[in-house]
Amino acid sequence: MSKMSLEDKAHFVIGTGMAGFSGDNAVIGATRNLVPGAAGTTYPLDSLGIPAIVLADGPAGLRIDATREGDSATYYCTHFPIGTLLASTWNTQLIEQVGQAIGEEVKEYGADVLLAPALNIMRNPLCGRNFEYYSEDPVVAGKTASAYITGVQKNDVGTSIKHFAANNQETNRMNNDARMSQRALREIYLKGFEIAIKESQPWTVMTSYNYVNGIYTSESKDLVQTILRDEWGYTGTVMTDWFGGKDGAKQMWAGNDMLQPGKAEQFDSIVAGVKSGKLAEADLDRNVARILNLIEKSPRFQGYQFSNKPDLEAHAQVTRQSAAEGMVLMKNEKALPFDDKIKNVALYGITSYDFIAGGTGSGNVNHAYVVSLLDGLKNGGYVVSDELKTAYETYISNAKKAAEAALEEQAKKDPKNAMLVKFLPQPLPAEKLFSADELTKQAEASDVAIITLGRISGEFLDRKAADFNLSDSERKLIEQVCDVYHKAGKQVVVLLNIGGVIETASWKNLPDAILCAWQAGQEGGNSVVDVLSGKQSPSGKFTMTWPIKFTDAYSTKNFPIDQDPRIDMMNQGQKGDVKNVDYTNYEEDIYVGYRYFDSFEVPVSYPFGYGLSYTTFEYSDAKISEKGDAYEITVNVKNTGKVEGKEVVELYISAPDNKAANKPVKELKAFAKTKLLSPDESETLTLTVKAADLASFDEAASAWVVAEGEYQFLVGASSQDIKATLKAKAKAQQTKVNSVMPLQAPLNLLKR
């Protein structure tokens, strides 16, 4: 560092720019070619022997260009399932394996840090990036992220846990102020990060775009130094999200070590800041040192000779299996798994033929192929109606042509945003409908019908109300197919190829089975058929509540519904004063997801933690004992059905006098999953809850406080299916933390 000039240091703490956005220069050109398509690099200081290291997205796999100019080789990456599906497995070992496979691709393609995982809380069902996120619950989010990070980093490459913190909407994401109580911040929005960071030590943390209580997270010393480093003991590097925050010198002061992908004015602001004394050079040096530490660990600095040949075949099996395990069986009236008599399948729904592997934007992966449901069924030995296939292929090809023409038109009108337009999630065309005659003939010729409902998910936009609800054509398709097939004595299965929850209450009585397949990565069709055929019994459970109407979630009062997204790639806009756009009041406070629905007894379509299996389980012999400063809960789970399966067991606590104390009626504290149990086989699961984890955040004391008294420990198959209630006493305890990031003006917070 002593050999670096001030200018060297100022370059070093910002990246090398981004093609098409922040200008071009020789450094950018050279670093960009390291791994084409990567999101960014650090700044090389060649004369000092400091190479640029490569930062690439994440999270559903490595995102780099699949082809390179003048090079006949390909650089495809495996498209793994979206984050929501991974979390729905509740299987941390499996998630770690997925992370390990992703990390191998990072390393073998010459990248150094994967910009993942993403674990913002699913505050509202319509957040556009929920597909990348894990849960409405911080324990699920934190444990999932921790397993993912551990897996990736086993390859000696880095991760970047993101977006720290409270990036819970896409609308005006560069300039939205998330206003919340210190309690909600600590208990809900930071808790998952705290768990993952303490358990898995990600090499880097990525701050978010938004403000929290009036201050950009990347400019918040309270967040990046006091909470992250002083309280949680984090020793790694912090970087901004791409073009996040405004004041480079302030970001440096806060301890946001690196600004990505970097812009000229940030360089100027840092140099000027040091010269004027606004920024202490010691602060800059501290950040430089942390980036140096990161580089030192990187494969590139270590001279790792990457092969450009990760084991894509092995990883295809990893994604196929993990995807099947995260699918959630929502309803099953003896329709699944298909029995031996099912051979001919009538396949409806656009996405059956054009299966969606994952989301758009930075979370996309340049995969070599996607196995559609059609191909999956064929691979599984089923016969799919050719007539339907041809009809759909023509319909889809025409719809695609029309959509492409419309996009081109849009790009011509708005050439500045032409590149962005390609990135945005585009709505799917209306569903194809059939006459009663056509349907009758199709029903005669097949043994079962599958209807897939699809939703595109992606970055930059929040989902629209219409995206949650079924379209008229979808509703008609379900009604008509169910009607005709049922009259013909045949069953109908609805498959959901989606990235976030949709409306189900009004139609779920119609089909015989519903399977949520999420967006299941490149092997999606095969994974679905593994479940439909019974090769794999479904064992996923929901990590979020499925409300009856999206307005049932209390947070919807304070969420941008169908607003202009205000896409501002380079963060050139300023914050205005429009509710839910420029600022969002988190009035639901800690009552997010099931904490709200269950505490206020608001009916739901499917509760948090819900998911069926092809077999049944019996819980018995639940016990609790105190072990040092923790409670140990054991429960016996027996497979009482006819086929093998795995069961997820959820442990909630219910605090004494929770209503009077304004605490949720229950909160998840631990979970476990059985191994694959054969019929009649059982397993005793052990779940541990630390006494300190019974605490709620008390703002007045600025402390985590465990209230003395008797706590209930609820062993459940979902938040609304409690199988055993245990009781244990807790002593009062209090852990003080810094009183930071307060609300700037009081909010009308929901209370029980």
Which residues belong to the active site? 241
Q: Which is nearer to ligand BGC, 105 or 241 (CB)?
A: 241
Query: Beta partners for 716?
Result: 650, 722
| 259 Cβ contact partners less than 8 Å away, ≥ 6 residues apart | 13, 14, 15, 218, 239, 240, 245, 248, 251, 266
Q: Is 39 in the site for ligand BGC (CB under 6 A)?
A: yes
Between strands 383-384 and 344-348, the pairing is parallel
Query: C-beta of 720: minimal distance to ligand BGC in Å?
Result: 33
Q: Which of 552, 535, 660 is nearest to 605 (CA)?
A: 552
> By rule CB under 6 A, what string of x and - marks binding of each residue 275-314 to ligand BGC?
----------------------------------------
Measure the CA–CA gap between 112 and 106, rounded to whole angstroms. Answer: 7
Q: Which is nearer to ligand BGC, 155 or 362 (CB)?
A: 362
Q: Which is nearer to ligand BGC, 57 or 467 (CB)?
A: 57
> By rule CB under 6 A, what string of x and - marks binding of each residue 106-125 to ligand BGC?
---------x----------
Q: Which is nearer to ligand BGC, 83 or 326 (CB)?
A: 83
Query: C-beta of 298: minimal distance to ligand BGC in Å?
Result: 17
Q: Is 170 in the site for ligand BGC (CB under 6 A)?
A: no
Q: Cα–chain-centroid distance for residue 401? A: 31
Residues 136-165 that bind ligand BGC (CB under 6 A): 162
Q: Which is nearer to ligand BGC, 241 or 474 (CB)?
A: 241
Q: Cα–chain-centroid distance for residue 626? A: 35
Question: Could you identify the residue written with the tokens 């043994």?
Answer: 447
Residue 593: its H or E element: none
Query: Beta partners for 55?
Result: 40, 113
Q: Is 647 in the site for ligand BGC (CB under 6 A)?
A: no
Query: C-beta of 90: minimal distance to ligand BGC in Å?
Result: 24
Query: C-beta of 196: minimal distance to ligand BGC in Å?
Result: 16
Residue 177: its H or E element: strand 177-179
| 305 Cβ contact partners less than 8 Å away, ≥ 6 residues apart | none
Measure the CA–CA gap between 283 and 298, rounded to whole angstroms. Answer: 23
Q: Which is nearer to ligand BGC, 241 or 667 (CB)?
A: 241
Cβ(197)–Cβ(163) under 8 Å?
Answer: no
The two structure tokens encoding residue 174: 């560069």
Q: Cα–chain-centroid distance for residue 689? A: 25
Interface with ligand BGC: number of residues (CB under 6 A): 7
Query: C-beta of 57: minimal distance to ligand BGC in Å?
Result: 5
Query: C-beta of 112: minimal distance to ligand BGC in Å?
Result: 14
Q: Which is nearer to ligand BGC, 242 or 614 (CB)?
A: 242
Query: C-beta of 250: minimal distance to ligand BGC in Å?
Result: 20
Q: Is 256 in the site for ligand BGC (CB under 6 A)?
A: no
Residues 332-371 that bind ligand BGC (CB under 6 A): 362
Question: Cβ of 149: how many Cβ atoms within 10 Å?
Answer: 29
Q: Is 57 in the site for ligand BGC (CB under 6 A)?
A: yes
Transcribe 213-248 into DSSP letters: TTEEGGG-HIIIIIIIIIIT---SEEE-STT--S-H
> By rule CB under 6 A, what string of x and - marks binding of each residue 222-251 to ligand BGC?
-------------------xx---------
Query: C-beta of 208: minimal distance to ligand BGC in Å?
Result: 8
Q: What is the DSSP letter of 426?
A: P
Q: What is the DSSP letter of 198?
A: H
Q: What is the DSSP letter of 256?
A: -
> Which value, to the nearest 10 degrees, does the dihedral of the CA atoms of residues 525, 527, 529, 532 take?
-130
Q: Is 88 in the site for ligand BGC (CB under 6 A)?
A: no
Q: Which of 378, 368, 384 is nearest to 76 (CA)?
A: 368
Query: C-beta of 39: minimal distance to ligand BGC in Å?
Result: 4
Residues 511-530 that bind ligand BGC (CB under 6 A): none
Cα–Cα distances in angstroms (integers) from residue 356 to residues 476, 523, 569, 711, in the given order: 22, 10, 26, 44
Q: Is 12 in the site for ligand BGC (CB under 6 A)?
A: no
Which residues make up the interface to ligand BGC (CB under 6 A)? 39, 57, 115, 162, 241-242, 362
